[in-house]
Amino acid sequence: MPYPTSRLTQILGTQYPLVQAPMSWVTNARLVAAVSNAGGLGVLGPHAGHSTAPSSTEETVERMRAEIRKTRGMTDKPFGLNVILAGSETPDAFNTAWITMALEEGVTHFISVGNATERAFHLMKQQGATLIHRPLTPTVANMRQAEALGADVLVATGHDEGGHIPASAWGTFTIVPTMVDAVRVPVMATGGINDRRGVQAAFALGAEGVYIGTRFIVTQESPAAQSVKDRIVSSGYDDMAFVSPVQRSIRTRTADQLAGLLQDRHNALDLDDEIRKLGGLKPGMLLGHMDEGIISVNTGIDIIRSVPSVQELVDSLLEVG
């Protein structure tokens, strides 16, 4: 039976209540269009479709403009764009240019991550765009603030997630019902959701949708290196380590070095900054140079044991067909 429509699908304009998380370096037009064509909401993340760093704000913006147009050529369904909010009340020059370009290109969905601000939300919601907001560390206060500022959908992130982990240790099973009870807009669950059981659990906890990153990395359309997909499939929770206070990785040579520094009480380095200097997720996950970078995934990778197409994955997650 097809998944029934819900308040969230009506807001998103999608067939299913599923959003693909915007992962830095490991999204592109092919993956995003595939998710949208399969009935979810695909989202272009930072550096989507590229393997080199841009040299200027203008180049960054124009590269994304081209990727948006490429995505538009591959789907007539809605898709979104990531916006990272650092916390300043007034959007900086980059975010102003980024959002303005996206609106010019007809983007109708923004997925903001970080600190909600009135001016940034107002800029994104021009022309009737839909705004999904994910605080890095969700609290009742910041979820209610984002709702008051105009977020259409909120994301409750559990400590189980990949990427930038919340500073609090609330797991997905704890954070989701707490945030569902705190706000009126739809709440999506994220953190360790890799199969149908995780989706069903999220809905049982009161979430109206799921926001999934790691599982989409291990699909045929994902731009992640095949060697990385194979490593994730062959790895489990015991193969992971914290590489900073808010990041974890499957163990690689670089991950082991970072983990050692994290445990060294004499270490004075900002390990998140060190990971940025290494290129973030690009060397390990996009280029497949695993010993030179990290492989950031959620804690539930023991159940990832195949590399399906995006359509096959969406069907299996939502019991379609």
Residues 188-226 pLDDT 10s? 999 999 999 999 999 999 999 999 999 999 999 999 999
Tell me which residue range forms the domain holding 204. 7-221+306-317
Residue 136 within any structural domain of the chain: yes
Residue 245 within any structural domain of the chain: yes
Residue 174 within any structural domain of the chain: yes
Question: Do 153 and 296 lie in a common domain?
Answer: no
Task: Assess whether pLDDT exceeds 80 at residue 91.
Answer: no
Question: Do 74 and 150 lie in a common domain?
Answer: yes
Question: Do 286 and 313 lie in a common domain?
Answer: no
With a pLDDT cut of 70, the percent of the chain lying above it is 98
Question: Do 275 and 150 lie in a common domain?
Answer: no
Could you tell me the strand order of the sheet in which 209-212 lies? 18-20, 209-212, 187-190, 153-157, 130-134, 109-114, 79-85, 42-44
Residues 164-183 pLDDT 10s? 999 999 999 999 999 999 99
Q: Tell me the residue length of the chain.
A: 321
Phi, psi of 81 (to 5 degrees): -130, 140
Distance CA 28, CA 119 (A): 28
Task: Assess whether pLDDT exceeds 60 at residue 270.
Answer: yes
Distance CA 251, CA 272 (A): 16
Question: Do 269 and 235 lie in a common domain?
Answer: yes
Residue 2 within any structural domain of the chain: no
Question: Do 194 and 251 lie in a common domain?
Answer: no
pLDDT band at 1 (very low <50, low <70, confident <90, very high): very low
Q: Among 216, 163, 210, which Cα is nearest to 190's?
A: 210
Question: Do 230 and 212 lie in a common domain?
Answer: no
Q: Packing angle between helix 93-104 and helix 57-72, nearest 10 degrees?
A: 20
Question: Do 39 and 177 lie in a common domain?
Answer: yes
Question: Do 159 and 241 lie in a common domain?
Answer: no
Question: Do 211 and 231 lie in a common domain?
Answer: no
pLDDT band at 3 (very low <50, low <70, confident <90, very high): low
Domain containing residue 107: CATH number: 3.20.20.70
Residues 10-67 pLDDT 10s? 999 999 999 999 999 999 999 999 999 999 999 999 999 999 999 999 999 999 999 9
pTM greater than the 0.85 cutoff: yes
Residue 25 within any structural domain of the chain: yes
Per-residue pLDDT, 2: 44
Contact 163, 137 (CB under 8 A): no
Question: Do 211 and 255 lie in a common domain?
Answer: no
Distance CA 77, CA 38 (A): 9
Residue 171 within any structural domain of the chain: yes
Number of structural domains (the chain) is 2
Task: Assess whether pLDDT exceeds 80 at residue 284.
Answer: yes
Residue 1 within any structural domain of the chain: no
First to last CA, the chain: 6
Q: Among 228, 182, 188, 233, which Cα is nearest to 211's?
A: 188
Question: Do 181 and 234 lie in a common domain?
Answer: no
pLDDT band at 126 (very low <50, low <70, confident <90, very high): confident
Higher pLDDT, residue 5 or 130: 130
